[in-house]
Amino acid sequence: MTFRISHVCLLLGGFVAGIALTSTGSGGFVFVVGREVLDVSYLDPAAGATLAAVVAVLVTVLVRARRGLSALSFAGLALLGVARSTGPWDVEMYLGGVAAGLLLGGLVGLCATADLAWLQTALATGVLTGILLDGPIEHLRTSLPRRYADYLPGPTVDAAALAVLALTAVVLAVALRSGDFGERADLAVSRRAVVVGIVVPLVGLVLCRWFVHQAWDIGSDGEMRGRWVYGIVLVAVVIAAALWLEHRTGIVLLAAMALVATGGIGRSAFPDSWPWLLVPAALILAGAALGRRFPRPVFGIAALAVVAASAVFEHPPWDNLHLAATWLLLPLAATYTFASSLPSSGPVTAASLAIPAALTVPLVAEYGWTAYTPLTGSEIPPWPHAWAWTSTGVSVAAVVACGLTAAYLGRRRT
């Protein structure tokens, strides 16, 4: 495979889409006073990411001409620029969701050529880079702790983000002008793929709302013992959807669900140095290349299960094992799994790339009234408590279930 300008375009465009998807979503819960405030602070981001997934699927289905796909991709970049320039406002999450959906759907549509596998892999690599590294990048860009920075006024115009958006638009224009994408292939889209691409994110949003309304049922030590039930329902829905899809199309959907069940890279644990970003970035690229050359989705999901299992080590000094797994193994395993699962149909690919940000019902998450008020006593036991074993076990079981389903789908005849 020769590395071309189209691959660079999809990497960069996918990175922007991944950052935008994560910006419309949320990776944790903060309990605040008043049910109305809680609903707004959490459900709006979840709705924005879900909106992005649905818009992306609709674009891949309704727009087939390359000119239309290009126009929508540029429109997504322009809307993201508007959102970054106007500062926080009431419908920012929804504007960002529409923009991310237009960009992601347009880029997925542009992948529909004879080089479908490599183009979708390049796009998935960019999106996963944005999703996995959004937290660390934001951590490095914020001089104050995040819990304080959220309440302080910042610059209205994000110059760095606008520069990246402008660069992406230029690279996209050059790639389209040069004809490097090649001749468009008219690939069939099944009704099942469309239904799954729209319904799964919406089910995730419904479960998210249900989960948030139950957030007040908290145990004595500040944890929700039954929170994993909502995640299990979501895993079952995704597995059923993957089995319902034709042939091996649903494997990439299972890869996305396995990544959701595993969790992401923590924001606060990242070293305060920009060069450290090169480590997970290099592992992401290596995972994509290996997944394309030696496609074994089950191996990638097995590696994600190892990352999920490492979450049981929550106290020093063993917590370094979980830190190493999330920083070294997770980027490699995530992109390897996605690359091994591609190519797939346009709607399923678009939904799967948005799912890590759109499906926000967690299996493993940290909860607290604030980021600085301890919920337990000052003495920390050297071993995991009972809930850590349960929570981690449920997460690992979810990843393993995705892996077993992927193994079954891999034996289907194409």
Burial class (CB in 10 A: 0-12, 13-18, 19+), 90: exposed
pLDDT of residue 232: 85
d(CA 59, CA 36): 33
Q: Is the pLDDT of residue 141 over 80?
A: no
Q: Which of 134-138, 165-169, 392-396 has the highest mean pLDDT?
A: 165-169
Q: Name the more confident of 175 and 208.
A: 175
98 sits in which H/E element: helix 92-110
d(CA 393, CA 209): 24
Residue 185 to residues 8, 114, 342, 346, 367, Cα–Cα distance (Å): 20, 6, 16, 12, 47
Q: Label residue 49 by pLDDT band (50, 70, 90).
A: confident
- As a whole number, the mean pLDDT across the chain is 81
Backbone φ, ψ for residue 301 (5° rounding): -65, -35
pLDDT 10s digits, 224-270: 555 667 778 899 999 999 999 998 999 999 999 999 999 876 555 56
pLDDT of residue 53: 95
Inter-residue contact 168 to 16 (CB < 8 Å): yes
Cis peptide bond prior to 347, omega within 30° of 0: no
pLDDT 10s digits, 73-83: 999 999 999 88
Q: What does the buried/exposed string (b/e) look like for 38-67 if buried means 16 or more CB atoms within 10 Å of the residue's CB?
A: beebbbbbbbbbbbbbbbbbbbbbebeebe
What single-letter amino acid sits at 274? Answer: W
Q: pTM of the entire structure?
A: 0.87
pLDDT 10s digits, 162-199: 999 999 999 999 999 988 888 888 777 889 999 999 99
pLDDT 10s digits, 91-110: 778 888 999 999 999 999 99
pLDDT 10s digits, 213-231: 665 554 444 445 556 677 7
The region that residue 292 occupies, defined by phi over 0 for left and psi between -120 and 50 for alpha, beta otherwise, is alpha
Q: Name the more confident of 291 and 379.
A: 291
